[in-house]
Amino acid sequence: MSDESLNDERLTADEYFVEIATTVAKRATCLRNKVGAVIVRDNRILTTGYNGAPRGLAHCLDIGCIRKQQNIPSGTMHEKCRAVHAEQNAIIQAAVHGVQTSGATLYCTHQPCILCTKMIINAGIKHVIYVNPYPDPDSMGFFEEAGVTIEQYQPKI
């Protein structure tokens, strides 16, 4: 294999961190969405997170989804959800371990909801790259107002 073909196979930093977020999402215990997040600074992983029940509580995989049981539409009444979102878990892990997130980039499999958006802003994260859109137009306005750049990841074709 030539050196040039090896370079063609090497992932860009964005591709690498998006793939890691996608792998992290496979640990999610939510029945509706598998979401993964990776917080990165200077091309180094600080923390990861996926959506799931708080530590020590039963997972939705085991007891069912309360939002589904109550016919709550996706994207509404987040407070009824048993899970902590992936972005929240990544930020919490940084706090628990004393890792500073100021100026970091967050890679996520899904566009953050408004609750996560507020946490991302307060955590000092300055750039968000997501794969899948999410129907929450308010979050985009908050990011813009706070000076946080956000972009949808576009894979190479």
Q: What are the catalytic residues?
A: 87
Residue 5 counted as domain residue: no
What is the DSSP track for 53-87?
PPTTSPPHHHH--HHHHTTPPTTS-GGG-SSBPHH
Residue 157 counted as domain residue: no
Residue 6 counted as domain residue: no
Residue-range definition of the domain harbouring residue 106: 12-152
Q: Which residues contact 74 (CB under 8 A, 6 or more apart)?
A: 32, 33, 135
Residue 95 counted as domain residue: yes
Q: What is the pLDDT along the chain (157 residues), one digit of tens a residue?
A: 555 555 678 999 999 999 999 999 999 999 988 999 999 999 999 999 999 999 999 999 999 998 889 998 877 787 888 899 999 999 999 999 999 999 999 999 999 999 999 999 999 999 999 999 987 889 999 999 999 999 999 988 6
pTM: 0.90
Residue 32 counted as domain residue: yes
Residue 116 counted as domain residue: yes
Token pair recorded at residue 118: 């507020």
CATH number at residue 61: 3.40.140.10
Residue 124 counted as domain residue: yes
SS3 state at 111: coil
Residue 128 counted as domain residue: yes
51 and 30 in contact (C-beta within 8 Å)?
Answer: yes
The total number of structural domains in the chain stands at 1
Neighbour-count burial of 12, counting CB atoms closer than 10 A to its CB (0-12 exposed, 13-18 middle, 19+ buried): exposed
Q: Using the 8-state DSSP alphabet, how is residue 52 labeled?
A: B
